[in-house]
A and B are shown apart, each in its own frame.
Chain A
């Protein structure tokens, strides 16, 4: 019969040692964050109420709620979506369905990688230089949302490209053989088969956009603005900037109020992300090919 030699036993010991070491490393990444989130939730949930969510800040932002900031974030995200989703999806269609594998496509891919890597504050500088000053939008939702839209464009392009690539080539070939044009194939075959994957990416983009602070600080978000924005040419408050302002700029804020804002912001982002993940898991289970 086989018996474990000295060497076997030693090797197995080393292996389990490494296994535990790496598990610890993974755990140490996740655990502190879990603890921090628990503290945020614990301290933040005590201030959350209907009143907190649906009233304006009062008394120099030391009391009242976060309603204008919440609505402002929805404005900013929606306008950014209107800009970057059509553009990003179209760009992904080009890259996935039309582009050949040549130097030009490679340059486009490099541009996308770099666009994703540019620091958010540089995007803010670009927003100020281009939209606020050069195009004379002034500081407003439009300028802020365009800045956000350009910043998150790579997310939309890459996730849509992945979704389009997941549609088997045979589907397209079958359609072309029936005499359909390229666009007819894309519209009737490729897009319907990848729409859920595209949506997953869009949800991810929404969650990223909602949390961004630096790009909107100088392009359209205001520290304090009691009224709600009426059009895209108004300034607005935003959740992320509101948290920054409460935490660093306003004296005398009760300690738990910024926790409340942080909690709402993080809940917003995590719910969005979980939704996107759940969507993806569901899709994987349902895939027919």
Chain B
């Protein structure tokens, strides 16, 4: 841009270029904070849809209310008449009493009114059930239950097995690539690992479904090949390339003078690696493992297709399980917007978000540990 449009005052630099510069500065700043906006946005929107459910309450004739009515000597005929109302949710206690009156009559209801108002408050969702009950039955006609224990066990078993496979192999591969391989071999291996990381998760799921499934049935002679073993293997292969890359970066960050000093003392290559390089890059390796765990925990399509998707507390690696992420993916399509089921799925989402947030933060803190040293 020319100087022609500058003001006559020599010292006043606020010409067109100056304004453009300021405008750009504001624009890129807005883009810069977009990541913060989005991460807050994600939290706000999934919380908005899901958190109401955590505190939601309604009035219903639950099993405990029936027991109380029985203690209060309600005749069996009336109790039987009320059975169809069991578990049905009402907005206010007044609605519930009206419904009860409709079934057994106004006069007959009177002696139990107080009890109904006091004890019929029921929460469809309770944190205790969520963390301790293995029963995930959101579409149950009688009493929907939202226990995520089996789903957590599913996710944990699959991620655990995946890490059992991925940690030694990715660290081994990282050490080979970083410390042993040289020149072309090294470049080639790095490129291969990078390409492995690019395979989409739905393709991995398809591999689990169509290649691993018959293979596992044949090799281990089990009835179902879609199980913890299948998903764990798939997830291990998926997470390993990323872990390898991060671990190799961590090894590379160890200054060469450490290695040279050790070699000067007469240490052999593997002594250098195990006594010097690995301890020095410990934090980076831990971060690599943590990020791998986070990745396994959040993986959706592959675990949806390869776990067998049946609610189970697994007792062996040949049990089919169901993961947290897969549950959302499988059920969100059929849950009516705003329904209890729909909100319960968003509650699962909040849980997933918080756990991955925690894992990522920890990994970052661990990584920052090395930078400080």
- The answer on A and B forming one complex is yes
Q: Which residues of A contact B (CB under 8 A)?
A: 11-12, 14-15, 18-19, 21-26, 28-30, 32-33, 36, 39-40, 86-88, 90-91, 93-95, 97-99, 107-108, 110-115, 117-126, 128-130, 133-134, 150, 153-154, 157, 181-184, 186, 207-208, 210-214, 217-218, 240-241, 243-244, 247-248, 255, 258-259, 262, 265-266, 269-270, 272-274, 277, 281
A244 engages B305 (CB within 8 Å): yes
A111 adjacent to B39 (CB under 8 Å): yes
Majority DSSP secondary structure for residues of A touching B:
helix
| Chain A residues with CB under 8 A of B207 | 36, 40, 262
Interface pair A23/B180, CB less than 8 Å apart: yes
B200 & A212 in contact (Cβ 8 Å cutoff)? yes
Q: Provide the residues of chain B in CB contact with A240, threshold 8 Å.
A: 200, 202, 301
Residues of B within 8 A of A91 (CB): 28, 31-32, 34-35
B194 neighbours in A (Cβ, 8 Å): 273, 277
A1 CB to closest chain B CB, in angstroms?
Answer: 19
Q: Which of A15, A90, A217, A262 contacts B28 (CB 8 A)?
A: A90
Per a CB cutoff under 8 Å, which of B191, B268, B357, B359 touches A12?
Answer: B268
Contact of B298 with A by CB under 8 A: yes
A25/B300 contact (C-beta < 8 A), A15-B268, A181-B21, A265-B203 known: no
B79 within 8 A of A: no
Roughly how many angstroms separate A28 CA and B233 CA in the complex, as a whole number? 12
Secondary structure at the B interface, as helix, strand, loop or mixed, is helix
Given A113-B364, A150-B38, A218 and B333 contact (CB-CB distance below 8 Å): yes
Residues of A within 8 A of B298 (CB): 117-122
Mask of B285-314 contacts with A, CB within 8 angstroms, 1/0? 000000100110111110001000000000
Q: Which of B329-370 contact A (CB under 8 A)?
A: 329, 332-333, 337, 345-346, 349, 352-353, 356-357, 359-361, 363-364
Q: How far is the CA of A249 from the CA of B305 in the complex (A)?
A: 11
Is B175 in contact with A22, judged by CB distance below 8 angstroms? yes
A119 touching B191 by the CB < 8 A rule? Answer: no
Beta-carbon contact of B45 and A30 below 8 Å: no
With both chains docked as a complex, state the minimum distance between the C-beta of A183 and any C-beta of chain B, in angstroms.
4
Decide: A217 and B329 in contact? CB cutoff 8 A. Answer: yes
Interface string of B202-243 (1 = CB under 8 A from A): 110111011100000000000000000000000001001100
Q: Which of B21, B176, B192, B345 contacts A125 (CB 8 A)?
A: B345
Contact of A243 (CB < 8 Å), options: B45, B168, B169, B203: B203
| Partner of B180 from A22, A30, A33, A259 at Cβ < 8 Å | A22
- Contact present for A129 and B48 (CB under 8 Å): yes
Instruction: Tell me the bound Cα distance from A272 to B194 in angstroms.
Output: 12
B198 engages A26 (CB within 8 Å): no
Count contacts on B: residues with CB < 8 A to the other chain.
90
Set A121, A130, A183: member contacting B45, Cβ < 8 A:
A130
A118-B353 in contact (CB<8A): yes
Give Cα distance in the complex from A130 to B46, angstroms.
9
B368 to chain A minimum Cβ distance, whole angstroms, is: 9
Cβ of B77 to closest chain A Cβ, rounded Å: 47
Contacts of B281 in A (CB 8 A): none
Q: Within B255-278, which residues are at the interface with A (CB < 8 Å)?
A: 268-271, 273
Proximity string of chain B (158-172) to chain A, C-beta cutoff 8 Å, 1 when within and 0 when not: 000000000011101
Q: How far is the CA of A283 from the CA of B177 in the complex (A)?
A: 22
Q: How far is the CB of A146 from chain B (nearest CB, A)?
A: 10
Is A184 in contact with B21, judged by CB distance below 8 angstroms? yes
B192 engages A30 (CB within 8 Å): yes
A-B CB contact pairs (8 Å), 17 listed: A18-B269, A18-B270, A18-B273, A19-B176, A25-B168, A29-B240, A87-B34, A93-B31, A98-B25, A99-B32, A119-B353, A121-B328, A124-B332, A125-B49, A129-B49, A214-B201, A277-B191
In the bound complex, do residue A29 and residue B244 qualify as a contact, i.e. CB atoms below 8 Å apart?
yes
Q: How far is the CB of B206 from chain A (nearest CB, A)?
A: 5
Nearest 9 CB-CB pairings of A with B: A211-B200, A119-B298, A25-B172, A94-B32, A90-B31, A22-B176, A129-B45, A26-B173, A94-B28
Instruction: List residues of chain B with CB within 8 A of the CB of A98.
Output: 25, 28-29, 32
Chain A nearest CB from B293 CB (Å) reads: 11
* Residue from A30, A40, A184 with most neighbouring chain B CB atoms (10 Å): A30
The answer, yes or no, to whether B137 is at the interface (CB within 8 Å) is no
Q: Which residues of B contact A210 (CB under 8 A)?
A: 200
With A118-B42, A129-B49, A133-B337: A183-B24 Cβ-Cβ less than 8 Å: yes
